[in-house]
């Protein structure tokens, strides 16, 4: 009996070791930000710590809380955050454990202070996680190359969904089927020539299609779509 029990314990420990090794291997590789030399200017302030990256507009009362895509370094979204400061938005980009937003789903809650309005934005898996936890303390949910796996159709918030026309990573069938989970007033925008990777600055993601847009053009279009939608949403 002792031998059987010992073998069970050893088998269990071996299983844990194998799973741990797989996880370490999987999460040890991730998409790094291509450029990490951004600096503050007269229009915005950038500062980075272990929990988040801030890109603060110097004249603003709205905070966008950004959930990164799976295994994407949070600093890869600094260019989008900088572009959003042109419209007066500040952005805090969450830096989750192992670059995996499912490890820090409720991160947005600690930032609900000091601003008049809050938008929760997520790219890819980050958008799916954001839709899982969003509540009416948030004024708007912005999905970039993403969809909601949870039914939030009765939630009284504005929702904007933006997808690249040439996205090769997002499961477009699931995205279409999941539209029923979003409020009826959700607005869907497609960026012609855009793909999955170019919402951030982390290179080319495996399985994606090449964009036909110029460098940073998708980010510029995305920021403008967000601002145009939010101006309309807040006047309705």
pLDDT at 233: 77
pLDDT at 1: 56
Pick from 105, 104, 106, 51: nearest CA to 74: 51
Residue by residue, pLDDT tens for the chain (236 residues) are: 555 554 455 444 443 433 333 334 444 478 999 998 899 999 999 999 989 999 999 877 999 999 999 999 999 999 999 999 999 999 999 999 888 999 999 999 999 999 999 999 999 999 999 999 999 999 999 999 999 999 999 999 999 999 999 999 999 999 999 999 999 999 999 999 999 999 999 999 999 999 999 999 999 999 999 999 998 875 45
The bridge status of strand 62-67 relative to strand 117-123 is parallel
């Amino acid at each position: 009996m002792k031998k059987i029990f010992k073998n069970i314990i050893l088998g269990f420990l071996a299983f844990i070791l194998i799973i741990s090794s797989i996880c370490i291997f999987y999460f040890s590789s991730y998409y790094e930000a291509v450029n990490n030399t951004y600096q503050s200017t007269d229009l915005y302030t950038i500062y980075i710590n272990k929990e988040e990256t801030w890109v603060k507009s110097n004249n603003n009362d709205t905070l966008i809380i950004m959930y990164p895509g799976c295994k994407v370094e949070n600093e890869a979204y600094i260019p989008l955050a900088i572009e959003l400061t042109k419209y007066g938005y500040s952005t805090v980009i969450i830096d989750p454990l192992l670059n995996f937003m499912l490890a820090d789903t409720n991160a947005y809650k600690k930032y609900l202070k000091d601003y008049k309005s809050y938008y929760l934005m997520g790219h890819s898996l980050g958008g799916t996680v954001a839709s899982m936890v969003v509540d009416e303390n948030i004024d708007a949910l912005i999905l970039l190359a993403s969809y909601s796996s949870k039914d939030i159709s009765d939630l009284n918030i504005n929702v904007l969904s933006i997808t690249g026309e040439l996205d090769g990573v997002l499961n477009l069938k699931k995205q279409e089927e999941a539209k029923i989970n979003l409020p009826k007033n959700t607005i869907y925008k497609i960026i012609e020539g855009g793909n999955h990777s170019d919402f951030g600055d982390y290179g080319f993601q495996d399985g994606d299609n090449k964009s036909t847009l110029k460098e940073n053009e998708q980010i510029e279009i995305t920021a403008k779509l967000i601002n145009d939608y939010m101006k309309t949403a807040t006047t309705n």
